[in-house]
Amino acid sequence: MPKISVVVVVEEENKYSISVLLGYLLKRLREEKLDNYFRFILTNWVNVSEVLSSLNRPHILIASLLTTQIPSLYSRVQSVLEVSRRLGGISAAGGPHATGDPYGTILNLGFDLAFIGEAEENFAEFVIELTQGGNPLSVSGVATISEGGVKVSYSNKQRLLSLDPVPPFCRELGLFNPIEIMRGCPHACRYCQVSYLFGTFPRFRSTENVVSFAKELLTRGIRDIRFVSPSGFEYMCSKNLNLSALSSLLETLNREVRSLGGRVYLGTFPSEVRPEHVTEETLRTVKAYVDNKKLNIGAQTGSERLLKLLHREHGADDVLNAVAIANKHGFKVDVDYMFGLPWEDSQDLEITMKQIERVIQLGGRIHCHTFIPLPGTPLSFASPRAIPETVKSKLVKLMGRGKLWGQWLWQERLARDIVLLRENNVIVINYKRASEVATKKSELVKRRFDVFYNNLRKIMSLNIETT
C-alpha cells in the first residue's frame, strides 16, 4: 500500500509545538483508522531539501515557525519550498509566526497554508479530509494561497476547554518534551504572543492526566518532569491563585512520581512565574514538592510607567518582594528584564538599573533580553529603542561579574533585522499590506496557486487509491 509522506521540519526552538501537533494528529488518525496511510519523516531546515529530493514524489511538508527564526531562515525556506513544489508537495506552516503573519508566511516565505492559532484540531481535520477525498480547503482556521493572494478563514470551532484530549508529546515518533499544563494567558502583556495566539481564557490539563503522562516519561527513562505553562503557579485559575489545586497537583506528583525516582520542576523554564504570585503561602505550598532550587521570575522593567503601558498587571515592588521571599525559602532567583522597550526613556532606564542593583543585592541574578516586535501582538509595528551605550556598559560589567546573563546583544541585532523585514514587506501582518504585496506579485501568486491546487489533487488522488 503506497503511503503519503509527511515531512516534518523539527528544530530545537519548535520541538515542543511540533511534538504536540503530531501527537494529536496521530491520535486522530488512529481513531479514523487512517494511520497506516502515512509515513512521517523528521528532518531539519539544513537537510530537508535532500530528504525531499530522495522522496521524489508528492508529499506534505509541515513546519512550525517563530518570528525570531525568520531573518536567518528566510532565503533557505524559500529555496526549500520551491523544491517541494517542484516535486509535487504542498506545504503548511503553523506556530506563533504563521498565526501573527499568515500573509507574509504565504506570500513571501512561500508556504501554501498557514494554520492560525491552536492548530491541532484544524490540521488533523485537514489531513483527514484530504485522505478521505473530502474538501480539505473547507477547513477553518487556516490561510491559503489563492488566485488573488491569500484567503484567510478564522476558526469556527470553540477552543479546547481542557488540554486532556491533547497528548503533551508524540511517543510514536520519539518526540518527548515537558508536559503542557496550561494554555492561554489572562494577562495579555502587549509584547507577548501567548494571549493573542491561545486567548486570554486559560485551559488546563487535569491532575490525573498530568500524572499519567509523567509516569510514561519515567518508563522511558526521563526522570526530570518539567511543565509548559505561561505562568507556572497559575494552575486551575485565572489571575487569582488556586493554591488548593496547585497543592493537589504537586502532592499527587510527589506521591505518584517522585516516589518512583522522578524529579519535579515547576517555576523554572518553561514554567516561569509572575512576581505577585511569589508569596509566603505559595512557596510554603511549593517548596516541599519540587526539586528545583531556583525560580525564574518575570519583571521586564523596574518602571511603574512601563509596567502599566506593557499591561503587566503587577507593580515594581512585587519584584523585590518576590526575590526576598524566594531567598527566605531557599530558592535562588533569575529575574527577567527587557531593554529597548518602545516607550523607554532615560528615567525609565535609571529606575530599572536601580532595581536591578537591588535585585543583585538581594542575591538574585539578571536574565537580560531586548524587546523584539512580534506579529500578532499590539506592538507588532513598534520599533525597539536603542539601548544607550552607558547602559550597555553597565550590563556588560554585570555579565563579567556573573550577575547577568542572556542573549540580549544578539536579540538587539535580531530586532533590527525583524524591523527591516517588516519595512520591506517581507513580514506583512495585515490585510492592507498583504493586498499591496499580492498585487506586485500577481503573476507569481497565480502560478503558485495553480501548482498548489494541482499538487493537492495529486496527493488526494494517491490517498483515494490507498483506500
Same domain, 401 and 380: yes
Same domain, 133 and 277: no
Q: pLDDT (tens digit, 9 = 90+) per residue, 393-425?
A: 999 999 999 999 999 999 999 999 999 999 999
Same domain, 328 and 212: yes
The enclosing domain of 83 has a CATH number of: 3.40.50.280
User: Going by C-beta distance under 8 Å and a sequence separation of 6 or more, which residues neighbour residue 113?
Assistant: 90, 91, 92, 93, 106, 126, 142, 143, 144, 145
Amino acid sitting at position 129: E
The secondary structure of residue 106, as a DSSP letter, is: I
The enclosing domain of 219 has a CATH number of: 3.20.20.70
Q: pLDDT (tens digit, 9 = 90+) per residue, 19-52?
A: 999 999 999 999 999 989 999 999 999 999 999 9
Kind plus residue range of the DSSP H or E element containing 369: strand 365-370
Q: pLDDT (tens digit, 9 = 90+) per residue, 196-234?
A: 999 999 999 999 999 999 999 999 999 999 999 999 999
Same domain, 184 and 244: yes
Q: Domain total for the chain?
A: 2
- C-alpha neighbours within 13 Å on the C-beta side of residue 97: 27
pTM: 0.95
State the alpha helices, DSSP H only, in 362-441.
389-400, 408-423, 431-440
Separation between Cα atoms, residue 247 and residue 333, nearest integer Å: 21
Among candidate residues 407, 423, 439, the one where a domain is terminated:
423
Q: State the cell numbers at 424.
A: 520591506
| Mean pLDDT, all residues of the chain | 95
Same domain, 448 and 408: no
Is the pLDDT at 464 greater than 70? The verdict is no
**Full residue range of the structural domain in which residue 134 is found:** 4-158+430-466
State the alpha helices, DSSP H only, in 288-370.
304-309, 316-328, 346-361
Is 414 inside a domain boundary? Answer: yes
Kind plus residue range of the DSSP H or E element containing 9: strand 4-9
β-strands 142-146, 149-153 pairing: antiparallel
> Is 342 within 8 Å of 371 (Cβ atoms)?
yes
Confidence category of residue 467, pLDDT binned at 50, 70, 90: very low
- Could you count the other beta carbons within 10 Å of the beta carbon of residue 346? 10
Q: pLDDT (tens digit, 9 = 90+) per residue, 281-335?
A: 999 999 999 999 999 999 999 999 999 999 999 999 999 999 999 999 999 999 9
Is 165 inside a domain boundary? Answer: no
Separation between Cα atoms, residue 308 and residue 315, nearest integer Å: 8
